[in-house]
Chain A
Amino acid sequence: MMKVYMDYAATTPVDPRVVKVMQTFFSEKFGNTMSLHRWGREAKQALEESRESIAKLMNAKPTEIIFASSATEANNQALKGIAFANRKKGKHILISSIEHHCVLESANWLEQEGFKVTRLPVDEYGIVHPESVEKSIRPDTILVSIIHANNEIGTIEPIAEIGKICRERGVYFHTDAAQSYGKIPIDVERMNVDLLTASSHKMYGPKGAAALYVREGVNLEPLLHGGGHEFGLRSSTVNVTSIVGFAEAVKLCKKEMKKESKRLTKLRDRLIQCTLQIKDSHLNGHPKKRLPNNANFWFAFIEGESLVMDLDAHGIAASTGSACSTEKLEPSHVLLAIGLKPHEAHGSLRLSLGRWTTRKEVNYVLEVLPRSVKRLRKISPYKGKWE
């Protein structure tokens, strides 16, 4: 049986070239970046070189990069850090209704702490319209946070336009670029962002490393207090090994981005085109304004977790926004936000491609997927209609 990993949006394997660079940092160059001796200096130098590479790929200054352990941490830091440092200016935060859970839940928590949160709607493709941001900014708004590219449906948001509005209104603007950094061009100047989150393990780097870009002059409250690492914003002995890996992954992505994004777009479009030949199948997200590696569908009359497990039985890794795979037994908030009914959202499937996806793999999925859908429809009580 062929084994096909098509869940790169969940996490990616670490590129062997990255592993190789990381290796010496486990037991040879293991020093603490705060130590004065040569072991410490060696680690510190590796850290600062990594910071520079990661900053470069988003056109930022190295001093504007703070390392964190995950994109979740970086997003928590951005929302809570801005909220608490600027609460005298105002208590209102603006986010979209399709943010990643770590942004949504941070906002929910801040709401419990007395902040006010507005969750902006999106259109049927999952796009946040800049006018709605403009309309929702109030005198007490301190932060706008809009995801750059959605993790489920891959829709790319008009970040530069939204950023321009925030800049004009004097409001801090954060974007979660965990899914997009390393895959599509990012420029913090052109995009008018004040804070940006990037993740290592979504772009062939190791887990345990992420970066938060914080524009010079932004007022941020730290979450972790201690030895004053990361300019006092994130105390913790620095995970140099993972960060060095992150930086190496960034270099590879930078070098290969143009070619790779073209290659994946072609594979993605073939996957989408052929899958939509299946009766009663629909594409989620925007046909063009989407990540080169993301395809997301919903199939009427079947349930997504069953579909994922049936594909798994055929060696294919995919994911779903169905309710059965969540705690609350409610389908994905993203799919509901783009207007899907709960029963429709239950039949969703995300296929995300990556560096090792081949045409042969796409063909295999295209061979198995229609059969799986057909089999589950045979079991389903709904035959061609929802009654």
Chain B
Amino acid sequence: MGIIIRKMRHEFLLYSKEILKHFKRPKNVGKIKDPSGIGIAGNILCGDVMHLYLKIKNDRIVDAKFETFGCIVAVANSSMVTEMIKGKSLSEALKISKEDLLKKIGQPLPPIKIHCSILATDALYEALYDYYVKSKLPIPKKLEKEHKRIRRTLETIEKRYKEFIKLEKEVLK
């Protein structure tokens, strides 16, 4: 019981120019016809879902588009990630991490908003994974690892919500 004060937590929501810019005028919104890979990340129960569509030619991402249901950071990060990966080779794209995205935002996000950046890179990993599977290419180790982590997280969320809804029903009985 009780709360121990450790340090001041800064959770003041001031969005950086970069976030506002991409939220107001997101780049690359929409679907791609016959995409080489599709990545879906997030969960509708938590309020963040991103669909990422990739067109890949000669091991290079030639086009990327997205559709996102989510908050301002989720939408902005979706747009930012599509801009970052366009024209990149697959191995370059695979190296992009949430830290790169956070750096690009140019301002620390409050802890509660970090998951919105993870959403965008997770969609990227999932889209690349989908491409490797569809093209029957050997899947890079890192990608395999990320894919497993993403699946695990989703399962946890779904389980948590199943319990939550069960609990709710019991309360309402």
Q: Does B46 contact A (CB under 8 A)?
A: yes
User: CB distance A324 to B171 under 8 Å?
Assistant: no
Expressed in whole angstroms, the minimum distance between the Cβ of B68 and any Cβ of chain A is 6
User: Knowing A380-B69, A381-B67 touch, does A342 contact B161 (C-beta < 8 A)?
Assistant: yes
A129 interface residue, CB < 8 Å from B? no
What are the residues of chain B within 8 A of A313 when measuring CB–CB? 20, 24
Choose from B20, B68, B112, B164 the contact partner of A379 (Cβ within 8 Å).
Answer: B68
CB of B69 within 8 A of CB of A303, answer: yes
Q: By the criterion CB–CB under 8 Å, are A343 and B68 in contact? A: no
Contact residues of A between 294 and 338, Cβ < 8 Å to B: 301-303, 305-306, 309-310, 313, 322-325, 327, 329-331, 336
Q: Which of B47-55, B134-142, B147-155 lies at the binding interface?
A: B47-55
Chosen A-B contacts, 26 in total, with CB atoms closer than 8 Å, are: A121-B171, A121-B172, A302-B69, A303-B47, A303-B48, A303-B70, A306-B23, A306-B70, A306-B72, A306-B74, A309-B15, A309-B23, A323-B46, A324-B70, A324-B71, A327-B112, A329-B46, A330-B164, A342-B46, A342-B47, A343-B44, A346-B44, A379-B75, A380-B67, A381-B67, A386-B44
Judged by a CB distance under 8 angstroms, whether B1 is at the interface is yes
When the two chains form their complex, are residues A306 and B71 in contact, meaning their CB atoms are under 8 A apart?
yes
Q: How close is B136's CB to chain A, nearest CB, in angstroms? A: 27
- Chain A interface size, under 10 / 10 to 19 / 20 to 34 / 35 or more: 20 to 34
Known: A112-B1, A306-B75, A327-B112. A382 touches B69 (CB 8 A): yes
Q: Given the interface contacts A112-B1, A313-B24, does A342 sit within 8 Å of B45 by beta carbon?
A: yes
Number of interface residues of B (CB under 8 A): 31
A119 CB–B CB distance under 8 Å: yes
Residues of A contacting B164 with CB < 8 Å?
A: 330
- Interface contact B168-A336, CB-CB below 8 Å: yes
8 A Cβ contacts from B93-128 to A:
112, 115-116
Number of A-B contacts defined by CB within 8 Å: 75
Contact residue among B23, B29, B45 (Cβ-Cβ distance under 8 Å from A343): B45
A97 part of interface (Cβ distance < 8 Å): yes
Contact with A along B7-33 (1 / 0, CB 8 A): 000000001000010011010010000
Chain A residues, CB < 8 A from B115: 329
CA distance A119 to B167 in the complex (A): 13
Whether the Cβ atoms of B29 and A346 lie closer than 8 Å is no
- Docked complex Cα distance between A382 and B168 (Å): 26
Q: Does A374 contact B (CB under 8 A)?
A: no
Interchain CB contact under 8 A, A378 and B47: no
Which residues of the partner chain B approach A112 to less than 8 Å between Cβ atoms?
1
| Closest chain A residue, CB of each to CB of B30 | A378
CA gap between A331 and B67 in the complex, in Å: 22
- Known contacts A119-B171, A342-B47: A305-B71 contact under CB 8 Å: yes
Given contacts A305-B71, A309-B23, A343-B44, contact A381 B172 (CB under 8 A): no
Complex Cα distance A303/B23, Å? Answer: 13
Q: Please give, as numbers and ranges, the residues of chain B lying within 8 Å of A346 by CB-CB distance.
A: 44, 47, 69
A149-182 residues at the B interface, CB under 8 angstroms: none
A324 contacts B48, C-beta separation under 8 Å: yes
Residues of A within 8 A of B15 (CB): 309
Could you mark each residue 47-89 of chain B with 1 if its beta carbon is under 8 Å from any beta carbon of chain A, else 0? 1111100000000000000011111101100000000000000
Query: Cβ of A381 and Cβ of B171 under 8 Å apart?
Result: no
Q: Which of A309, A322, A382, A386 contacts B47 (CB 8 A)?
A: A322
Distance A119 CA – B170 CA, assembled complex (angstroms): 11
